[in-house]
Amino acid sequence: MSRISYLETHDLRFPTSRDLDGSDAMNADPDYSAAYVHLHTDAADGHVGSGFVFTIGRGNDVEVAAYAVLAPFLVGRDVEATLNDLGGFWRELVHDSQLRWLGPEKGVMHMAIGAVVNALWDLKAKRAGLPLWQVLARLSPEEIVDLVDFRYLSDALTREEALEILKSAEPGRADREARLLAEGYPAYTTTPGWLGYSDEKLVRLSREALEEGFTQIKLKVGGSVEDDIRRLRLARETVGPDIRIAIDANQRWDVDEAVAWIGELAEFDLAWVEEPTSPDDILGHAEIARRIAPVPVATGEHIANRVVFKQLLQARSLSYLQIDATRVAGVNENIAILLLAAKFGVPVCPHAGGVGLCEAVQHLSMFDFVAVSGTLAYRRIEYVDHLHEHFVTPVEIRGGNYVAPLAPGAGVDVWDDTFVNFEYPQGSAWRADDDSVVAAAG
């Protein structure tokens, strides 16, 4: 029997604010960051389970502090038994009677639990010698529903209904896996659209996106309506009428403001409007969706948990559901959300970008295609070409599609050098910012 022997944690930050990569209406100067956790075991195979929470800088260390609180739940635990009951492990952590007071099921502690859950899935996939999406897609419908906590979901989705969805998708699994391996999974790109970019850079990157085969791009909006109109016009002129253009307001507006602002932009044939208002405002999203129809609403990257997603679906608040790999409590909760979306017939278009989010979330969409929704219709995974060079097995985009990864694991391991250079605050990338260190070195 092997046991989890220790948790190694890292506060990894990239100084992206220096170039305004990732700038939008609410996030003026993000430093893309990842609070990493590595689960070591005493097994002879030497496999390490990797997980992380994506943040945008300050507070990344609070996630690291949360890992320390979770360590006693993990260290000494039987690896096999834990990996064979990840549904039970999820419930134990998420419903821990003391920890849940810090949420419940939201914020720093919930995301930290998500990272260790994801690290266990990474470990399980490495031990199986398969990419995570294949590990998931080869589970039986019964094994999949055992991973899901239906507490607070039963008024919208029961275990039996989830089982029905999974069973009806079972016959086509092999065909869809073959198609995925041959063609990949559709992507769209946000690379051209950051709010801090010049018009010239917007046009150049939009043209590149077109040339690379993307069929959808996304622009950040919400700074000023005049700028948004000018930028959308430039983008539409550049990509032509057949490429979809989505916009993303990053929670910038109140309800009436959103409706008025989007009205000014509707002429540009918008693929969707993303995060028009607070992620907590289920009823606000529903009202916006009603009033801007047929322009579709998309949201999800800041939705705290499955209970809020359930209501967004019940209230018809969204037309596209955007899961995030590190916001909710890991793979298990995202499976619950994929099942909810399938029940309501809403396509899932994951949030990605940041650091490692593309690498992580592609596995969930590929699993969704093979074993849950069974379709690629209206589905695209976000893609941004930032920071992939830090990953041992970075995502690969070909002709505007994510190539299905084949490396064992969840795909989120970073190079050792990345820790050397970007650990905060002692990494070389950050020491250059520190005058006292520079002075001492000089």
Active site residues: 220, 351
- For a copy of itself, which residue of 308, 318, 338, 376 counts as binding (CB under 8 A)? 308
Interaction of residue 5 with a copy of itself, rule CB under 8 A: no
> Based on CB atoms, which residue is closest to a copy of itself, 129 or 425?
425
Interaction of residue 363 with a copy of itself, rule CB under 8 A: no
> Based on CB atoms, which residue is closest to a copy of itself, 99 or 235?
99
> Based on CB atoms, which residue is closest to a copy of itself, 35 or 137?
35
Interaction of residue 333 with a copy of itself, rule CB under 8 A: no
Interaction of residue 161 with a copy of itself, rule CB under 8 A: no
Other Cβ atoms within 10 Å of 224 Cβ, number: 11
- For a copy of itself, which residue of 20, 43, 48, 102 counts as binding (CB under 8 A)? 102
Binding pattern to a copy of itself, positions 11-50, x when CB under 8 A? ---------------xxxxxx-------------------
Q: How far is the CB of 286 from a copy of itself (least distance, A)?
A: 10
CB 305 within 8 A of CB 329: yes
Beta bridge partners of 321: 299, 348
Residues numbered 236-255 forming contacts with a copy of itself, rule: CB under 8 A: 251, 254-255
- For a copy of itself, which residue of 4, 34, 37, 66 counts as binding (CB under 8 A)? 66
Strand-strand pairing, 216-220 and 244-248:
parallel
Q: Is the dihedral of CA 287, 290, 295, 298 positive or negative?
A: positive
What are the backbone dihedrals phi and psi of residue 106, each rounded to the nearest 5 degrees, phi first?
Answer: -165, 155
How far is the C-alpha of 146 from the C-alpha of 141, rounded, in Å? 9
Cis amide linkage into residue 425, ω under 30° from 0: yes
What is the rounded (10 degree) CA torsion for 133, 138, 142, 143?
A: -60
How far is the C-alpha of 419 from the C-alpha of 415, rounded, in Å? 7
> Based on CB atoms, which residue is closest to a copy of itself, 101 or 211?
101
> Based on CB atoms, which residue is closest to a copy of itself, 33 or 50?
33
Return the DSSP state at 336. Answer: H
Question: What residues contact residue 369 under an 8 Å CB cut-off, 6+ apart?
Answer: 176, 180, 185, 375, 376, 379
Instruction: Provide, for the chain, the percentages of residues in helix, strand and coil under a 3-state DSSP scheme, each rounded to the nearest 5.
Output: 45, 15, 35
Interaction of residue 386 with a copy of itself, rule CB under 8 A: no
How far is the C-alpha of 442 from the C-alpha of 163, rounded, in Å? 65
Interaction of residue 409 with a copy of itself, rule CB under 8 A: no
Stretch of 61-69, 131-139, 170-178, 380-388 contacting a copy of itself, by CB under 8 A: 61-69
Q: How far is the CB of 277 from a copy of itself (least distance, A)?
A: 6
> Based on CB atoms, which residue is closest to a copy of itself, 21 or 287?
287
List residues near a copy of itself by CB under 8 A.
26-31, 55-59, 61-63, 65-66, 68-69, 95-111, 151-155, 251, 254-257, 277-284, 287, 302, 304-305, 307-308, 310-311, 314-315
